[in-house]
Amino acid sequence: MEYAKVKVANLPSVRRLPAYLHLLKQLEATGLDFVSGTQISQELKLEPIQVRKDLAITGIVGKPRIGFPVTALITAIETFLGWDNTTDAFLIGSGHLGSALLGYQGFKEHGLNIVAAFDNAEEKFGQTIHDTEVFPLEKLPDLAERMHVRIAIMTVPASEAQSIADFLVDAGIEGIWNFTPVSLRLPANIVVQHEDLACGLAVLSKKLQHTQQELDDTACNE
């Protein structure tokens, strides 16, 4: 069988769903029953039509004049993203960033549960970081099979990223959340989500250049 490149309908919409989810949970906490796309758009600084289109992919149906039922909308988004059931994951590389992710409580809210961490550094074996035990990387294949874990979060040094990724795939890992700056070369059936902080920093830097530019221009014109 040939694996087609995974096609996900409207990726930009999928990326915006967590922002809706966060807002909706806040609104739910205040006891609100219904919210209109217009209200949501104002809170998140989006176009009303974009909100309606985004929410439509989850299958939610709203009431004209009234808006969307808040609780049902939360459920619809969580179900759509598969965040209604908890998925177990491994974390590979217990350095600074890895430790921070182990301490981040927000993942559980998104259906992700880090059940074990792995490292190559002997002095870390058996350590517990934020209630998660660190194992030698070599034990991963066995544990992955026994615990039926399909997802790995990679926070390892760039120099080791490719070889460790290959090792993970051999061990049956199907999805990798890649926090290294390396573009991994893996079989087409492996799902890789590249999370590179430098991308966001590039955009921030560029936008700041432009505002600085504007200020300079203004100064010149005076």
Partner DNA sequence: TAGATTGTTAATCGATTAACAATC
- Given the rule CB under 8 A, which residues bind a copy of itself? 1, 3, 6-8, 11, 14-19, 21-23, 43-45, 80-83, 87, 95-97, 99-101, 103-104, 106-107, 110-112, 130, 150-151, 158, 174-175, 177, 181-183, 185, 189, 191, 193, 195-211, 214, 218
Task: Say whether residue 47 binds DNA (CB under 7 A).
Answer: yes
Task: Say whether residue 219 binds DNA (CB under 7 A).
Answer: no
Please report, to the nearest 10 degrees, the dihedral formed by the alpha carbons of residues 27, 29, 30, 31 taken in order: 100
- Report which DSSP code applies to 139: G
Q: Report DSSP letters for 158-204, one per residue.
A: HHHHHHHHHHHHHTT--EEEE-SS------TTSEEEE--HHHHHHHH
Task: Say whether residue 12 binds DNA (CB under 7 A).
Answer: yes
Task: Say whether residue 44 binds DNA (CB under 7 A).
Answer: no
Least distance between a copy of itself and beta carbon 201 (Å): 6
Which of 37/93 has CB closer to DNA? 37
Task: Say whether residue 33 binds DNA (CB under 7 A).
Answer: no
- Report which DSSP code applies to 140: H
Which of 90/177 has CB closer to a copy of itself? 177
Contact present, 191 and 175 (Cβ < 8 Å): yes
Count, residues in the chain: 222
- Report which DSSP code applies to 5: P
Least distance between DNA and beta carbon 5 (Å): 10
Least distance between DNA and beta carbon 104 (Å): 27
For DNA, which residue of 5, 45, 65, 206 counts as binding (CB under 7 A)? Answer: 65
d(Cα 22, Cα 74) in Å, to the nearest integer? 9
The β-bridge relationship of strands 191-194 and 175-178 is parallel
For DNA, which residue of 22, 33, 49, 84 counts as binding (CB under 7 A)? Answer: 49
Instruction: Provide the token pair at 114.
Output: 């880090």
